[in-house]
């Protein structure tokens, strides 16, 4: 039989990032948290937490945290069916999910806000590149994710959301300065580009499609969708932007496309744990419904 007090302590340490904050969240002493986690590690036979600032879970620890999340979902279902079992001071349910920054900055955040208003949940959102969010599911760190990977992670379902359209854009002055003679491999190799982080391959993918070979791009790193737009309008560099996000700037002329007839469409999918949870299913339905309006559909 699993020790759910110890499992809750482990999940709190990983969620809060420290033993002290986990103790405050569970209304116990830090020594009690430390003892529960240590006893759990002794029973499992391996480390579950990497002690640091912040504390993080090992691979085994993430699996146990995912188990705790799924158990809490199932408990929520039982309490809905049998309200007498619910505690009068029942805490909101934590729902860990992962999403790409561009979805979060456009259509996804309003969906989450509406869902959180209507259900007793606390959303714990992690942001990563859409090509890597599926790893969060595989590791057990989250219960659901917006990802560019169609193949479902083990124990998960995958549903198509639609395609997010990106356009390469820059300020008019930047275009005059760097692309007066055209957008080609030579000009792209000299003009500064914008990337979200080292995982962001959209710009390289777009250039490879245009030039039919890789081009080494000079790049600024800006880990914010909104900063991407601001930096582009200020002439810092060119980049791939969600068309929906920059449509007003294209209309006003503060941004212009590098090549009007060459968008890049990225298919997105919603993957979620295959848990028997009406709450997770309701979140899935809300996400899919929002995507139908915001993303390009087949």
Q: Tell me the mean pLDDT per 10 residues along the chain, length 298.
A: 85 88 91 94 92 88 83 70 56 85 96 93 91 84 91 90 98 98 97 95 97 96 94 98 96 97 97 82 95 94
Please spell the DSSP secondary structure of 116-180, one letter per residue: HHHSSEEEEEEE--TTTHHHHHHHTS-SEEEES--SPPTTEEEEEEEEEEEEEEE-HHHHHHH-T
d(CA 295, CA 243): 10
Counts for the chain of helices (H) and strands (E), in that order: 13, 11
Burial class (CB in 10 A: 0-12, 13-18, 19+), 251: exposed
Q: Let me know if the fold of 1-91 is the same as that of 164-266.
A: no
Please report, for the chain, the start and end positions of each structural domain, with discontinuous segments joined by +. Answer: 1-91, 164-266
Instruction: Name the pTM for this structure.
Output: 0.82
The secondary element (H helix, E strand) that includes residue 256 is strand 256-257
pLDDT value of position 87 = 58
Fold classification of 1-91 is Arc Repressor Mutant, subunit A (1.10.10)
| Superfamily of domain 164-266, CATH level 4 | Periplasmic binding protein-like II (3.40.190.10)
């Amino acid at each position: 039989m699993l020790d759910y007090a110890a499992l809750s302590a482990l999940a709190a340490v990983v969620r809060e990032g420290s033993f002290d904050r986990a103790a405050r969240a569970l209304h116990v002493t830090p020594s009690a948290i430390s003892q529960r986690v240590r006893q759990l590690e002794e029973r499992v036979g391996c480390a579950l937490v990497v002690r640091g600032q912040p504390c993080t879970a090992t691979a085994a620890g993430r699996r146990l945290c995912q188990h705790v999340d799924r158990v809490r979902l199932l408990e929520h279902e039982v309490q809905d069916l049998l309200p007498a079992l619910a505690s009068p001071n029942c805490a909101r349910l934590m729902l860990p999910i992962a999403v790409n920054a561009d979805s979060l900055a456009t259509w996804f955040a309003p969906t989450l806000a509406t869902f959180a208003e209507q259900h007793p949940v606390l959303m714990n959102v992690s942001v990563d590149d859409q090509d890597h969010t599926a790893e969060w599911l595989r590791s057990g760190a989250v219960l659901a994710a917006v990802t560019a990977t169609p193949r479902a992670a083990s124990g998960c379902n995958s549903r198509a959301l639609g395609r997010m359209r990106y356009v390469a854009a820059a300020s008019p002055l930047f275009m005059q300065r760097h692309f007066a003679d055209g957008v080609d491999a030579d000009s792209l190799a000299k003009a500064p580009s914008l990337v979200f982080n080292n995982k962001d391959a959209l710009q390289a993918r777009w250039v490879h499609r245009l030039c039919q070979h890789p081009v080494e791009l000079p790049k600024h790193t800006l880990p914010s969708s909104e900063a991407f737009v601001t930096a582009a309008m200020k002439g810092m560099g060119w980049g791939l932007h969600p068309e929906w996000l920059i449509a007003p700037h294209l209309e006003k002329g503060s941004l212009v496309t590098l090549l009007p007839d060459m968008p890049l469409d990225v298919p997105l999918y919603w993957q979620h744990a295959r848990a028997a949870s009406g709450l997770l299913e309701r979140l899935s339905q809300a996400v899919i419904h929002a995507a139908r309006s915001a993303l390009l559909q087949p």
